[in-house]
Amino acid sequence: MHVNATGCQFAVNHRIEYLGGLLPPTIHHYVDRHFNECSSCREKLDSARAGLSALVQLTAPEVSRQRCDLVMQWFVSRDRPLDETNN
């Protein structure tokens, strides 16, 4: 994973992985620092956090595991350029 996009674009594109603790430590630190310094990106992070929190609150009869996976994929891919979503 390379930090080759602008700081805002990179941080927002990786907000779900950041929230899930899935980023390598150096990338996590970079994204964490960006979210702490950029209020616009922090708002997008907070929105993603709220959406994921609401999804987690649903019980099994209300939403299937497959639907949860689809929503997570959508969150991860919705702001990325096409070349990143096709990897």
In a domain? residue 87:
no
Residue 31 lies in domain: 7-80
Percent of the chain with pLDDT over 90: 39
How many other CB atoms are found less than 10 A from the CB of residue 16? 22
In the chain, how many domains are there? Answer: 1
In a domain? residue 86:
no
In a domain? residue 62:
yes
Using alpha carbons, list the distances in angstroms from residue 22 to 26, 51, 58: 12, 18, 22
DSSP helix/strand/coil, 37 = helix
Q: What is the pLDDT of residue 59?
A: 56
Find where tokens 């497959």 sit.
66
pLDDT, tens only, 44-80:
999 988 888 877 776 555 566 677 777 777 766 666 5
Q: Is the pLDDT of residue 17 over 80?
A: yes
In a domain? residue 1:
no
Measured between alpha carbons, how far apart are the two ends of the chain, in Å? Answer: 12
Q: What mean pLDDT is predicted for residues 14-33? A: 92
Find where tokens 């987690």 sit.
56
How many other CB atoms are found less than 10 A from the CB of residue 76? 19
